[in-house]
């Protein structure tokens, strides 16, 4: 089977902005934030296809207002290069700049098409549905520079040397490579599962429902920048490997990582997560309860309903919408509101606070909530923090 048999990338072409050289001698330097470095990698490897660089003004305004690029292609969140006044003063439209990691590694160059004011009053309420500074995505944008630099990038490297193990090199497959892997396994249809948490029994239930209707499953955790308090990526990766080894069919399951930054933008982020997985070669995308949400800023199923605004021509990947699932003692299995009556006290549900208390006390949550192999990894982490 050829990779060409898979779903086409969003926009029709899988972008690559990786370059053999990205000469930076004498160029002004822009030091990227953690989020910007994640975005640069996602553009470079084609995960953000059809984007070729950071947003220009026309795209920025169109995305914020209409969830589309200026050319009409669906895109829900502007991918921006924000800079402060001091950095802006060193740059010029029509010129170039060197983009470097915070550790000083030269990553890329940008051809500067535009430098324009960062209209945060347009971006924040449209993208996040709130202007509350307590929202982590809102706060991140508020703290960014007041100028945006737009233009295409040429990228030399996306993974500077860091602490051993942080890069997850074995699992850090770009879209071209996941597509090759799917084709090699003769998977024509692939369901993607987005996660920034360990997989508990409800997640496992969703993914296995998806496996029943697709050839394969891509467990695709986000390992880029997240908010303080989220479980570290290396701990989560250990959990994913343990549950896949013990509870999934290897021939039908694949683990890879997505080096994106979280925005916690709820419905709009659900769209970008789906489009990215289409670029990775997935035909279906699991959308569960409060996808990419935080706090109580979004309705329980807003991230599913937003897809109703678009046609298959707009978004080719198929969303798989799931209700909240939990273990039912009466049914003796995983159920949802669609499959079993909700009888008071029947379903096993634990709050995040309760789970954290159990883990810190060295106690496993009930097996109906979490697999013991995963719980043991989390206990070790919780007791060390």
Active site residues: 196-197
Q: How far apart are CA 360 and CA 174, in angstroms?
A: 36
23's tokens = 């000469």
Specify whether the CB–CB gap between 278 and 317 falls below 8 A.
yes
For residue 151, count CB atoms less than 10 angstroms from its CB and return exposed for 0-12, middle for 13-18, buried for 19 or more.
buried
CA–CA dist 189, 217 (Å, integer): 9
**3-class SS shares of the chain: helix, strand, coil, % to 5:** 35, 20, 50
CA distance 53 to 109: 10
Q: From CA 95, how far away is CA 113, in angstroms rounded? A: 8
Q: How far apart are the first and last CA of the chain?
A: 47
Retrieve residue 185's tokens.
């396994």
């Amino acid at each position: 089977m050829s990779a060409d048999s898979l779903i086409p990338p969003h926009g029709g072409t899988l972008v690559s902005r990786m370059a053999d050289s990205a000469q930076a001698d004498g160029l002004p330097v822009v030091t990227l934030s953690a989020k910007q470095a994640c975005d640069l990698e996602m553009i470079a490897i084609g995960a953000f296809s059809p984007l070729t660089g950071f947003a220009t003004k026309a795209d920025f305004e169109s995305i914020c207002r209409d969830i589309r690029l200026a050319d009409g292609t669906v895109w829900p969140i502007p991918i921006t290069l924000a800079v402060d006044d001091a950095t802006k003063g060193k740059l010029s439209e029509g010129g170039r700049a060197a983009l470097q990691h915070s550790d000083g590694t030269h990553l890329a160059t940008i051809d500067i098409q535009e430098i324009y004011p960062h209209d945060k009053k347009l971006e924040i309420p449209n993208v996040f549905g709130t202007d509350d500074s307590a929202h982590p995505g809102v706060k991140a944008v508020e703290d960014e520079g007041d100028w945006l630099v737009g233009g295409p990038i040429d990228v030399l490297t996306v993974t500077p040397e860091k602490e051993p193990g942080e890069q997850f090199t074995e699992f850090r497959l770009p879209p071209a490579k996941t597509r090759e892997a799917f084709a090699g396994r003769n998977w024509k249809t692939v369901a993607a599962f987005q996660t920034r948490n360990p997989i508990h029994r409800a997640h496992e239930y969703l993914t296995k429902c998806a496996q029943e209707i697709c050839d394969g499953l891509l467990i695709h955790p986000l390992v880029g920048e997240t908010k303080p308090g989220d479980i570290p990526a290396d701990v989560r990766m250990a959990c994913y490997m343990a549950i896949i080894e013990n509870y999934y069919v290897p021939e039908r399951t694949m683990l890879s990582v997505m080096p994106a930054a979280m925005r916690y933008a709820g419905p709009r982020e659900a769209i970008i997560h789906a489009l990215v997985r289409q670029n990775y070669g997935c035909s279906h995308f699991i959308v569960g309860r409060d996808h990419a949400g935080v706090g109580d800023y979004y309705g329980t199923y807003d991230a599913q309903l937003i897809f109703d605004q678009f046609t298959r021509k707009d978004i080719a990947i198929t969303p798989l919408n799931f209700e909240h699932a939990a273990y039912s003692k009466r049914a003796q299995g995983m159920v949802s509101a669609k499959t079993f009556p909700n009888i008071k006290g029947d379903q096993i549900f634990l709050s995040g606070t309760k789970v954290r208390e159990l883990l810190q006390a060295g106690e496993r949550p009930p097996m109906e909530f979490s697999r013991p192999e995963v719980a043991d990894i989390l206990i070790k982490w919780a007791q060390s923090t």
